[in-house]
Amino acid sequence: MLSSKEEKELFKLEKKEEKYFLFFSFFIIIISITISLAVYYFCNTTLSIISETKGVVVPSSKVKVIQHLEGDRLSLRNLCWKATLHSYSNI
């Protein structure tokens, strides 16, 4: 038989174990619900086409750098700015 002190200690341990069991079971339920919702979402949603464009796919080995006559590289911002200035100068 257990003494009263040992019974109290055993009761405390059983309570702690019960709390951990409830915590872990709640945690497992939350994870399973999340996974179930993710699977449902992925199976029942459709992706729409966002945009279509004309053009060709160019391999990265075929890409060339455009340069000024002075040898400086052009950035897209400079090209757009120069095109804008050129269009205003024709007006």
Q: Per-domain residue ranges for the chain?
A: 4-46+62-89
At residue 84, the pLDDT reads: 53
What digits encode the pLDDT tens for the residues 14-70? 888 888 888 888 999 999 999 999 999 999 988 777 777 787 777 777 766 666 566
DSSP characters for 4-69? HHHHHHHHHHHHHHHHHHHHHHHHHHHHHHHHHHHHHHHHH--PPP----------GGG----B-S
pTM (two decimals)? 0.41
At residue 61, the pLDDT reads: 74
